[in-house]
A and B are shown apart, each in its own frame.
Chain A
Amino acid sequence: MFGYEFYVDPSRCIGCQSCVEACEECETHRGVSMINFDYLDRYETANTAAYVCWHCEEPTCAMVCPADAIKVGEDGVVRSALKPRCIACSNCVLACPFGIPKIIPEYEQMMKCDMCYDRTSVGKRPMCATVCPSQALSYVKPEQIAKRREEPTNLFVFGNQHVKTRVHMMTPPGTDAVSIDVVDYMWEGHLGQFGR
C-alpha cells in the first residue's frame, strides 16, 4: 500500500522487543501484542528474531478454518478471525507453517497481526516497523531495501508446500527461497530442486 512493503531481517534484530511492546498500542487490538519473538538459542548466541504475520497469498490458516472466519482483505492483508464466526478451534494455530495465529482465551478468538490496517490503510507505517530501532522490521519502499546487503525473498518451502507471502524475508544475496530442509537443496534426479 502506498508503495511500501514489509521486510523482516532477523540478522539485524537486537532483541529489544520494542515491537512487542509497541504492537499492543495499535488501535485495532489495544493491550494484545501480535508480534512473534524468539531467542533462537540463548546458550549458543544472542541472536533473536521478531516477526509479524507473513500474510500468505494462499493463507494456510484460512484454508483450514472450518468456520470460514479468516479473510484476506483487498490489500492482501490476512485479518484476525471474524469474531462472530471464530469458534476458537485452533485449527489455524496448528496449521500455520510460521506459527503465527494465537487464540486469545478471554476473547475466544484467533487474533494475529493485521499489519496495522488502521495505520497502513491511511499511509502510515505499522507500529512495529515504525519503532524498530534496528531495521529488523521495516516497512519501506523497495528502492530503499535495494540499498541493503541482503536481498528480499518471499517464497518459503515447507516440504511439498510452497508458500508465497506478502511480507519479505531478507536473505543472503542470491537466495531464491527460504527452506530449512536439507532435502530441498539436494539433487534427486528428475524431481530437481525447488524453483531453480
Chain B
Amino acid sequence: MARPPASAEQLLERFGPHLHNTPPGGWSDESRNPAEKLVKTHCCFCGQQCGIQLKVRENRVIGFEPWEEFPFNEGKLCPKGVKRYLQGSHPDRLLDPLLRDEKVAPDSAGFRKANWAEALQFTARRIREIQEKYGKDAVAVYGGASLTTEKSYLVGKFARLAVGTRHVDYNGRLCMVSAGVAYKLAFGVDRSPIPWSDIPKADVLFIIGSNIGDCSPITTDYVWRCRDRGGKLIIADPRLNPIARNADLFLPVRPGTDLALLMGMLHVILRDGLENRQFIEEHTTGFEALKESVQAWNPQAAAEKTGVPPDAIEKAAHWIAKAEHAIALHARGIEHQSKGVENCLAVINLVLATGHLGHEGSGCAMITGQGNGQGGREHGQKCDQLPGQRMLTDPAAREHVARVWGISPDELPQPGYTAEEIMEAIHRGEIKALLSMCFNPLVSLPDANYTREALDKLEFFGVIDFFLSETAHHADVVLAGSLQEEEEGLSCNTEGRVIHIQKAVDPPPNARTDTWILCELAKRLDRAKFFPFQTSREVLDELREASRGGHADYYGITYERVDEHMGLFWPCPSLDHPGTPHLLDGAKSFHPDGKCRFVPTEWRESGDPVDEQYPVYLTTGRVVSQYLSGTQTRRLGGLVDIYPEPLLEIHPRLAQQYGIADGDAVTLTTRRSEVTVRALVTKTIRPDTVFIPYHWPGKRSANRLTHRTLDPRSKIPEFKVSACCIKKASLSEESI
C-alpha cells in the first residue's frame, strides 16, 4: 500500500519545497564569523562537475568561492553552482529516518520520526518477506547518477549481492544511454573520446540536439573560444537557443527527425566524393553498408522530413567534410528518441566518413547531463553491467567480479529490467517492492500518471534521500541520507575526467552517509561480510580491483592522484599511468580488431506521431536554473526567482492560429493527459513545435504528457517528441 499517507497540501507544508535564500546565520554573519576553511570540491549538479570551493564554518557550508585553478571551468559556474551551497542548511533537509504512519498528527503529514534500528530492520524485513512470497526478483533497486562512483558501485553490488535481485537500474537511463550504446557499437567503449580542451581547436563545430547555454553552460566558453579562433559553428535544434543565435549555420530541425538530417548530410558527402577514403580504409569497417543506407536520403528527401532547407543540408555537409578539424557534440536532443541510438550512430558515421577522429581538434562527444552521468554508469548500477564497464552477460567479466567479491559467478544474477521497464513491471504486478536512492521517477519518467499508478501498487517502497521528493511521498520508509558534500568520493565529468568530491561537512546528527545506510541494510539482510566498508576509500579500493582490466579501468586512480593531477581520465590501469584524455588516439577503437565500425541506420517514425487530432510537436527539456526533477533546485529561492514556473514556448504564427497571446494560460493535451501552463510567445521556436521544461511535479508536470515509447536498444524514453493539441484555457484553469 504505497499511496501518499497525507494530502498533497499537508506533504507540501511539512516537506516543501520551501524556498531558501540565505546562508546559515544570515547575510551579515560572515563578516563577523568568517569561514574556517575552503574545501576544494565540485558542484553537485550537472555533468560538467565544475570545480568549486565551499566555505565551511562549524561543520556547516556557509558559502562558496570560485576555484579558478581547476582547469575544466576555471572558476566559472552557472547559477545552480552559485546557489548549491544552500542545500545543507535547508529547512526541508531530512534529518531523521521516517516511517509512514497515517495515525500521526496532520502536521506530520503521514510520516513519523523513527530510530535507525527500527527503520533499517523494517526495510530489511519487508524486502525479505516480499522475496519469500513472490521470489527474489519481486524487489527492484533504483540508483541515481548524482551519486558518487563509489556509491553507484555499492548500489549495484547491494542489489545483486545483498538483495539478490536482477532488477537494478538508475536514473541515468533517462540521460545518455543512447549515446552509450552507440559508442559501444562503433568504438567498443562508452565514453566521450575527447577532452573538452579539443573543442576550441576545431575548424567546424557541429552541435546537434544540445541546448548548451541552458544544459551545460560552462561548455559555452569552449564554443566561443572555437569561434574566436575562426571556427565555424553549425547548430541543429528546433529552437534558436542562446548559443544558436551566434551560429554560422542554423538548422531548425523538426523534433524527432535528426536522423533524416544526418543521413541527408552523409548522402551529400558520399554523392560529392568528399569522404576520407584513406581514413575509411585504415580505420573502419562496414562502409559499404553505410553507403547503401543513405542512398535514398538526398537533400530534398531530408528537407521534406526535417524542415531544414536542402541547401543548408548541403552546406553543413560540405563544411564538415572539407574542414581540417571538425567536432560533433550531441546531447539529449538526439538521444531522447525512440531512435536515439540510431541518431548517435549517424553522428559517429558522419565523423568516421569524414575522417574526423583520432587527432586533436577532431572527434565526437556526448555532453553528459547528470552529475556523475559518466561515472555512475561504469561500475555496476546499470542493469546489464558490472564494474569497469564490463558486461554482465560476459562469463569472463562475471568470473573476475565474482572473484573480487568472493562469490561464485553463479551467484551473480543475470541482467534485469531498465528503469522504465521496472516501473512497468511494478504496474503489472510483477515487481512488488522498490528501494530507491537519488531518483524521483514521478517527475522524471514519462507518462507520470502511469508512474503514479505504479507507485500506488507497491507493497513496499523504501527511499534513501536527503529531501523528500514527490516520489518519496509514496514511501513506507525514508532513510535520511547524505548530501554530496557530506561524503567523499569520485565522480567522472562529461570529458571522462575522474574528479574528487571532498567531504566538506558531516551529515546532520541523525542523518547518515549513504554508504553507511547500504552497509547496515546489507547487514540486516545477512550479507554483512560483503559490505565491511567504513569509508569511501575502502569502497574505492575494492572498486579499483573490480574495474581492473575492464574498459573503465580505475585501478590507477586514487584520491591523492586525482588531487595532484586535477583529475585523471580513465582508463588508468596503473598507479604510474597518466590517464587517457584522448580515448581513441589514432582512431584505434576498443574492438578486438582496433577498427571503428560504421553501423548503418534506418529511418522510422516516432512512437507518438502527430496526426489531425494531435497536430503539434511537443518537445521537453531543461532551463538553466533548474536541475532534473527539481528535487534540489526547486527549493533554492534564487534559482526559482530566475524561472519560477514552466512556460510553453510557442511561435507567434502558431499562437495566432489558436488566439493565444503571451501570458495566456494554454492547455496542452496528448494521448496520455493534459497540462495547463502559461504561454511564452516567441519567434525562437519552430511554428509546428511547442516546448515546456520538465522540472515540475503535479499539474505542471511536462512528463504527464510524454509517452513510454523506448529506444529498443538503449531503453531511453522518447521525451523529445510527443504529439499534442493546444487550446487557450479559461481563467479558472489558470490557477495552476
* Closest B residue by C-beta to A33: B638
B413 at the interface (CB under 8 A from A): no
* Closest A residue by C-beta to B29: A30
Can you sample 27 A-B contacts with CB below 8 Å?
A: A14-B212, A15-B624, A16-B78, A16-B217, A17-B79, A17-B625, A18-B77, A18-B78, A18-B79, A22-B77, A22-B82, A24-B638, A30-B30, A42-B680, A43-B681, A43-B682, A44-B682, A45-B245, A45-B683, A46-B245, A48-B242, A130-B68, A130-B76, A131-B75, A131-B82, A134-B221, A135-B220
The answer to whether A149 touches B228 (Cβ under 8 A) is: yes
Residues of A within 8 A of B639 (CB): 21
Least CB distance from A101 to B in Å reads 21
The residue from A21, A133, A135 contacting B83, defined by CB atoms under 8 A apart = A21
The answer to whether B625 touches A12 (Cβ under 8 A) is: no
Least CB distance from A124 to B in Å reads 9
The answer to whether B662 touches A131 (Cβ under 8 A) is: no
Residues of B within 8 A of A14 (CB): 212-214, 217, 220, 242-243, 624
Number of interface residues of A (CB under 8 A): 34
Least CB distance from B64 to A in Å reads 7
Q: Which of A142-167 contact B (CB under 8 A)?
A: 147-149
B587 at the interface (CB under 8 A from A): no
CA distance A125 to B67 in the complex (A): 12
The answer to whether A46 touches B77 (Cβ under 8 A) is: no
A27 at the interface (CB under 8 A from B): yes
Residues of A within 8 A of B22 (CB): 31
A70 at the interface (CB under 8 A from B): no
A8 at the interface (CB under 8 A from B): no
The answer to whether B27 touches A30 (Cβ under 8 A) is: yes
Q: Which of B359-375 contact A (CB under 8 A)?
A: none
- Report which A residues bind B (CB closer than 8 A): 11-18, 20-22, 24-25, 27, 30-31, 42-48, 125, 127, 130-135, 147-149
* Closest B residue by C-beta to A42: B682
* Closest A residue by C-beta to B30: A30
A30, A45, A130, A134: residue with the most chain B Cβ atoms closer than 10 Å: A134
Least CB distance from A22 to B in Å reads 5
CA distance A130 to B75 in the complex (A): 6
The answer to whether A133 touches B221 (Cβ under 8 A) is: yes
- In the A-B complex, the 8 residue pairs with the closest CB atoms: A14-B213, A31-B27, A30-B27, A134-B220, A14-B242, A133-B217, A21-B82, A131-B77
CA distance A12 to B64 in the complex (A): 25
CA distance A21 to B224 in the complex (A): 23
B93 at the interface (CB under 8 A from A): no
The answer to whether A149 touches B227 (Cβ under 8 A) is: yes
The answer to whether A15 touches B221 (Cβ under 8 A) is: no
Least CB distance from A194 to B in Å reads 28
CA distance A24 to B31 in the complex (A): 14
* Closest B residue by C-beta to A134: B220
Residues of A within 8 A of B243 (CB): 14
Residues of B within 8 A of A15 (CB): 213, 242, 624
B684 at the interface (CB under 8 A from A): yes
- Contact flags B222-244 to A (C-beta < 8 A → 1, else 0): 00100110000000000011110
Known: A16-B217, A135-B224. A44 touches B683 (CB 8 A): yes
The answer to whether B63 touches A25 (Cβ under 8 A) is: yes
Known: A18-B82, A27-B31. A130 touches B66 (CB 8 A): yes
Residues of A within 8 A of B684 (CB): 45-46
The residue from B28, B30, B68, B642 contacting A17, defined by CB atoms under 8 A apart = B642
* Closest A residue by C-beta to B220: A134
The answer to whether A11 touches B246 (Cβ under 8 A) is: yes
Least CB distance from A127 to B in Å reads 8
B320 at the interface (CB under 8 A from A): no
Other A-B pairs, 7, CB within 8 Å; known A21-B642, A130-B76: A17-B625, A17-B642, A27-B31, A46-B245, A47-B242, A131-B76, A133-B220
B668 at the interface (CB under 8 A from A): no
Residues of B within 8 A of A134 (CB): 213, 217, 220-221, 224
B81 at the interface (CB under 8 A from A): yes
Residues of B within 8 A of A45 (CB): 240, 245, 683-684
The answer to whether A43 touches B662 (Cβ under 8 A) is: yes
Residues of A within 8 A of B214 (CB): 14, 16
CA distance A15 to B241 in the complex (A): 10
Q: Which of B241-260 contact A (CB under 8 A)?
A: 241-243, 245-246
Residues of A within 8 A of B213 (CB): 14-16, 134
Residues of B within 8 A of A17 (CB): 79, 624-625, 642
Q: Which of B665-694 contact A (CB under 8 A)?
A: 680-684
- Contact flags B39-83 to A (C-beta < 8 A → 1, else 0): 000000000000000000000000110101000010111110111
The answer to whether A133 touches B82 (Cβ under 8 A) is: no
The answer to whether A30 touches B28 (Cβ under 8 A) is: yes
CA distance A133 to B243 in the complex (A): 12
CA distance A18 to B228 in the complex (A): 23
- Contact flags B14-45 to A (C-beta < 8 A → 1, else 0): 00000000100001101100000000000000
Least CB distance from A151 to B in Å reads 12
* Closest B residue by C-beta to A12: B224
Least CB distance from B619 to A in Å reads 16
Residues of B within 8 A of A44 (CB): 682-683
Residues of B within 8 A of A46 (CB): 240-242, 245, 682, 684
